[in-house]
């Protein structure tokens, strides 16, 4: 039986086993406007059949467990996927997805973003791609904007014809990943997808996935099924968010995922 951590501090990453993430890309999807980041990141996990490899633990996170196909999982999950290493024929984990269904309290954002940046640096991850929803209706036909922390990442935005956000504000975890990534000159890109503010927006998430698919063509990401499943996904995500945000009596928690 594994030993339970007793002195890990208030927030830490628990790995289920060793993973090779060198030169990979980490996609970060915490809830944002229209829940587009959570919907998109969960879609990538399902489509790519990524394996849960680690979790972020904190005594200050909401007390709930995600149940999927009968298996309980912690609220903040880190998945990784396999592809062939170049010229080696081996299996390496190069695509990482960090996702959850709740937004941590504001006083936890700095600690959480620092933890993610530190872990990615320790694992030699090359690029962090954080997903965010934003109301960009005034941008005309533009559905996704981008921000990069380094010249390399800004060149990537130009390469993939992603319009750069020149003036504005990015808040939450994505905002901290950008500011701290720039401070330490880590390669961080934030993709901001146009999203509705009143309901979970699976179609807005599909716009983000179009861009992610262009940036990572080897993962063969097709957002079309997401558009077809939009109504069901939006309903499921809305129920998940409501179950976390609304206080419930102890006897009601067991009914959430039935």
pLDDT one-digit tens code per residue, 49-104: 899 999 999 999 999 898 888 989 999 999 998 654 444 555 555 899 999 989 99
Which range among 118-122, 232-236, 249-253 has the greatest average pLDDT?
118-122
Residue tagged 């609304």 (tokens): 246
Position 2 pLDDT exceeds 50: no
Position 223 pLDDT exceeds 50: yes
- Of residues 55, 63, 53, the one with CA closest to residue 18: 53
Q: Read off the pLDDT band of 149 (50, 70, 90).
A: very high
pLDDT at 3: 43
Categorise residue 194: left if φ over 0, alpha if ψ from -120 to 50, beta otherwise: beta
Q: Which of 9-13, 91-95, 123-127, 181-185 has the lowest mean pLDDT?
A: 91-95
Residue 121 CA to residue 21 CA, distance in Å, equals: 10
- Of residues 238, 187, 179, the one with CA closest to residue 38: 238
What global pTM score does this model have?
0.83
Position 241 pLDDT exceeds 70: no
- Of residues 60, 50, 61, the one with CA closest to residue 27: 50
Q: Which CATH superfamily is domain 13-245 in?
A: PAC-like subunit (3.40.50.10900)
Burial of residue 111 (number of CB atoms within 10 Å: 0-12, 13-18, 19+): middle
pLDDT at 254: 34
């Amino acid at each position: 039986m594994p030993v339970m951590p007793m002195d890990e501090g208030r927030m830490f990453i628990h790995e289920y086993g060793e993973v090779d993430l060198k030169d990979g890309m980490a996609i970060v999807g915490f809830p944002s406007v229209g829940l587009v980041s959570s919907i998109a990141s969960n879609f990538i996990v399902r489509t790519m059949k990524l394996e849960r490899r680690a979790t972020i633990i904190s005594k200050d996170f909401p007390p709930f467990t995600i149940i999927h196909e009968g298996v309980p999982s912690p609220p903040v999950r880190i998945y990784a996927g396999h592809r062939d290493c170049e010229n080696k024929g081996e299996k390496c984990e190069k695509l990482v997805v960090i996702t959850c269904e709740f937004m941590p309290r504001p006083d936890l954002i700095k600690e959480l973003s620092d933890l993610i940046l530190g872990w990615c640096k320790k694992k030699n991850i090359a690029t962090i791609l954080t997903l965010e929803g934003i109301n960009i209706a005034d941008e005309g036909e533009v559905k996704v904007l981008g921000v990069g922390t380094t010249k390399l990442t800004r060149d990537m935005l130009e390469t993939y014809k992603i319009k750069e956000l020149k003036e504005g504000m990015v808040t939450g975890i994505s905002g901290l990943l950008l500011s701290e990534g720039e401070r330490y000159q880590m390669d961080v890109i934030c993709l901001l997808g146009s999203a509705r503010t009143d309901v979970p927006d699976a179609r807005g998430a599909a716009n983000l996935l179009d861009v992610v698919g262009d940036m990572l063509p080897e993962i063969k990401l097709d957002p079309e099924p997401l558009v077809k499943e939009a109504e069901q996904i939006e309903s499921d995500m809305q129920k998940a968010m409501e179950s976390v945000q609304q206080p419930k009596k102890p006897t009601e928690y067991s009914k959430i995922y039935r």
